[in-house]
Amino acid sequence: MLSQILPISLVSPDPDAVTETVASRAIRAGEPAIATSLRFHRPRGPMCGRGYCEQCEIETSEGRQLACQAGAGAAPRGGRRDPLRPLGRLAERFTPWFWERRFLRPRRWRRLPLHVLRYLSSAPGLAGAAPRRPTRTYEEIAAATVSVGRGADRPGAFVVDPDDGDVVLGVYPDRTLTLLRGDRMLSVRFERLVLATGSYERLPPVIGNDLPGVIGLGAAEIYGEAGALRRGLRVAAWASADRHASLRVLAARHELTIVWLGDTAPRAIAGRRKVEAVLTDRRIACDLFVVAVRQPAIELALQAGATAGLTSGELPILALRTTPAWLEVVGEAASTRSGVPDVEPADAAIACACEDVRVADLKACVAQGFAHAELVKRRTGAMTGPCQGKLCAAAVLSVLRGLDVDATPTRARPLAAPVTLGELAADA
């Protein structure tokens, strides 16, 4: 199950629209470790609450789903502990490319495993049940102005609202935006495009930044409305000064205890299978670590021809630098600063959560001569996971810039939100 939600902005959720999910139930129980990572089999938990971080994918009685989207009635299959974790601990001793250099030999046989995997994945009885193909029609329409996201409304515009279920696929040449809406796939030709695509979490580059219990402020609000935040829950929060008030409102609403609130990231986040404390000049026990530092969501803008780069002077984020004359970006997507001090990335910190790529792995890759962001991406797998760099692009590129490597943002290609191939099937 892949995400079909493009997040818009950090807003308080509608209590009437919030329902209990597998993720909210796990947080309320104090056991947020409901999934495991790809390479290290590290425990992972729900982080974004909106389906774009892809860190909480679980196997349920209804197939693979994201825990933040699966109804509380969905029964997770398997235990919470991954039996392959010991193998993951062994993998942590090596770089991401260790296995291909050691085991894909002799060279003339390197393509054989790929062919075997292709055939096995499509073999009857091994590929699983055929996905349900939606009955979808394809339509081409035209509009003078297209607005994406709440806050982008313009008089007479064709409105695309992911919060109402629209799935934005991407911006294509000749000013064309493609989306899924109900039982239709729409290709919209436009003259002007207005984007209010919001922002994502910008994780601190510190040890423990991938622990279950590290969640975004927007996710905390969603889970709070679903009844997941217990009275007296101890919360540590990393936030720019302009978001401190939002955190205090959240704490007051759900009777939480804020044990630490700062704009400078802690030295580390500690815990075994979940967040247990933050380490600053001392150890401060906590149950959740809330991230309120944001990275603008600029994928659609980049696909439309905008350019971006890392900011300086604070914790770096990827911000837009130029946009075509016919493109307008508003709200959090247009932000140009993180609002928090920079911090030296820890070697053991996870830079790319989807692919389990650490800061030390990036440094080792550069030391071998891969002196460009695109090369590092291909060598390590960073920014190629299901989230497509939403959580990690700024972190990875900032590490590369610190190593005097070309940190030009890698290309942003459609699709903007991961979807299944079955969802793209349409009857013309």
Is there a contact between 346 and 268 (Cβ–Cβ < 8 Å)? yes
pLDDT-derived band at 76 (thresholds 50, 70, 90) equals confident
**Distance separating alpha carbons of residues 411 and 334, to the nearest angstrom:** 19
- Cα diameter, the chain: 64
Q: At residue 1, does pLDDT exceed 50?
A: no
At residue 124, the pLDDT reads 55
Nearest 5°: the CA angle 290, 293, 298 is 130
Query: Which range is least confidently modeled, 91-95, 301-305, 335-339, 358-362?
Result: 91-95
Structure tokens at 211: 């622990």
What is the reported pLDDT for 64? 84
Instruction: Compute CA 300 distance to the chain's CA centroid, rounded to the nearest angstrom.
Output: 15
**Rounded to two decimals, what is the model's pTM?**
0.87
pLDDT interval class at 71 (50, 70, 90) = confident
The CA distances from residue 206 to 288, 293, 337, 375, in Å, are 16, 14, 20, 24
Q: What are the tens digits of pLDDT across the range 244-289?
A: 999 999 999 999 999 999 999 999 999 999 999 999 999 999 999 9
Whether 16 shows a pLDDT value over 70: the answer reads no
Token duo for residue 63: 């197939």
Question: For residue 193, is the peptide bond before it cis, meaning its omega torsion is within 30 degrees of 0?
Answer: no
Cα gap 373→355, rounded to integer Å: 16
- pLDDT for position 235: 98
Kindly report, residue by residue over 107-158, the tens digit of the pLDDT. Answer: 666 667 656 655 665 555 544 555 555 678 999 999 999 999 988 889 999 9
Question: Residue 167's beta-bridge partner residues?
Answer: 180
CA 355 from chain center: how many Å?
Answer: 12
Residue 18 has a CB neighbour count (10 Å cut-off) of 18
pLDDT at 427 over 70: no
More reliable by pLDDT, 104 or 148 = 148
Counting Cβ atoms within 10 Å, is residue 265 exposed (0-12), middle (13-18) or buried (19+)? Answer: buried
Identify which of 225, 195, 210 has the alpha carbon closest to the alpha carbon of residue 9: 195
Q: Are 410 and 393 in contact (CB under 8 A)?
A: yes
The pLDDT assigned to 194 comes to 98
Specify whether the CB–CB gap between 237 and 289 falls below 8 A: yes
Alpha-carbon distance of 186 to 137, in angstroms, equals 8
Is the pLDDT at 13 greater than 70? The verdict is no
pLDDT of residue 357: 97
Question: CA gyration radius for the chain?
Answer: 21
Task: Measure CA of the first residue to CA of the last residue in the chain; give whole Å.
Answer: 25
What pLDDT is attached to residue 78?
Answer: 61
Task: Give the integer Cα–Cα distance in Å for 91 and 81.
Answer: 17
* pLDDT tens digits, 197-229: 999 999 999 999 999 999 999 999 999 999 999
Query: Average pLDDT in the 163-185 region?
Result: 93
Residue 191: both structure tokens together:
């003259």
**Across 4-121, where does the E strand assignment appear?**
35-36, 43-44, 57-60, 63-66
Side-chain half-sphere CA neighbours of 398 within 13 A? 27
Per the prediction, the chain carries an average pLDDT of: 88
| pLDDT number for residue 104 | 58
List CB contacts of 420: < 8 A, sequence separation 6 or more: 1, 2, 131
d(CA 292, CA 358): 22
Q: 9 or 105: whose pLDDT is higher?
A: 105
CA 390 to CA 51: how far, in whole Å?
12
Share of the chain above pLDDT 90, in %: 69
413: confidence class by pLDDT, cuts 50, 70, 90: confident
Per-residue pLDDT at 61: 78
Position 343 pLDDT exceeds 90: yes
pLDDT of 10 higher than 70: no
